[in-house]
Amino acid sequence: MASTNDLKNGMVLKIDNNLWSVVEFQHVKPGKGPAFVRTKLKNVLSGKTVDKTFNAGVKVETATIDRRDMQYSYKDGDLFVFMDTTTWEQVNVTAEVVGEAADYMLEGQDAVVAFYEGTVLFVELPASVVLEITHTEPGLQGDRSSGGTKPATLETGLEIQVPLFLEQNTKVKVDTRTGDYLGRA
C-alpha cells in the first residue's frame, strides 16, 4: 500500500483487480476544500488510458512488477522467445503482449520484460534502436537533408519516413515510442 502523496510516473497500481500504470500525476491544492491528486492511468494489459482523481493522503494498493533484463532470441510461430541474461532461462511471450515492439526487434536485441505473479505483462525496448533500410526509392540529384521525406522499409518490415538522401543498406536510428527517424547510425 502507498499513499497518493507517494505516486510516481511508471508506478503500477492495483485498482478493482486491474493493473494501472501511472502516466501523469498532479497534486492540486485548491483555495477552498481539501487537496487532491489528479492522475492519468494506463491499463497495463489493454493499453486503455483513463483520468482518475484521488483525495490527498488516500491509500492505494501498489503492484510489485518484476522487470528483468532479457535478450530477444527468435520468433517461434506466434511466440517470441526471450532469454534471461543472468539465468539463461527462456520465456515465451505471445504476439499480443509484445505488440508494436515487434516492429523494432532483431534477434539478439536487449529488452526489459515485465512480470506480475509469473505472467508477462509487457515488453519495454530502449528509447531508440538502430535498423538497416532494406528498401527505398533511390534519391535524386539535388535532394538535401532539409528537403522532404520518402518511405523506407526497415529490416524488421516496418515502414517509416526518412529524408530523401538516404539510400538502401543505410543504418538509421529509430525512436521506438513514435516510429520517427532520428538520424543515421
Check for a shared fold between 2-60 and 66-124.
Answer: no
Band of pLDDT at residue 145, cut at 50, 70 and 90: low
Domain locations along the chain: 2-60, 66-124, 128-184
User: Which strands sit side by side in the sheet containing 159-163, from one edge to the other?
Assistant: 159-163, 149-154, 128-136, 171-175, 181-184
pLDDT tens track for 83-128: 998 889 999 998 888 888 888 998 999 999 988 888 888 888 888 9
Query: Taking the domain 2-60, which CATH number applies?
Result: 2.30.30.30
Band of pLDDT at residue 8, cut at 50, 70 and 90: confident
Q: If you average pLDDT over every residue of the chain, what do you get?
A: 87
How far, in Å, CA of 85 to CA of 10, rounded? 23
Find the mean pLDDT for residues 143-155. 76
Superfamily of domain 128-184: Nucleic acid-binding proteins (2.40.50.140)
pLDDT tens track for 39-91: 999 888 777 899 999 988 889 898 888 889 999 999 988 899 999 988 899 99
Assigned architecture for domain 66-124: Beta Barrel (2.40)
- Nearest C-alpha neighbor of 21 from the set 146, 121, 90: 121
